[in-house]
Amino acid sequence: MVSVAKPVLLMVVVQMVLAGANVFYKLAENDGMKLPILVAYRFVFSTAIMVPIALFVERKKRPKLTWMTLLQAFCCGLFGWKCR
């Protein structure tokens, strides 16, 4: 029973968090905050939360940082915006 209810509870919690975030966005916008600044703050805070988690969880699974990997990342950043 618990294994069946866990995904449903997780979906409900995620929806509640997203609804709360939308309420806070609307409150900030009504207070006069500009939308691009709000989006920038969202990206900064999400990066600050996700990077340490990713580094901790994936610390033994990361591939070596070779010149080819750096070149591919550079090309992806350089041309990725145009390929969408």
Q: Is 32 helix (H, G, I), strand (E, B) or coil?
A: coil
Structure tokens at 37: 């600044």
CA angle 34/36/40 to nearest 5° reads 120
Q: Is the pTM of this model over 0.75?
A: no
Nearest of 45, 25, 23, 43 to residue 35 by alpha carbon: 25
- pLDDT tens for 31-84 read 999 989 988 988 999 999 999 998 888 888 877 889 998 898 898 888 877 665
Of all helices (H) and strands (E), which one includes residue 4?
helix 2-30
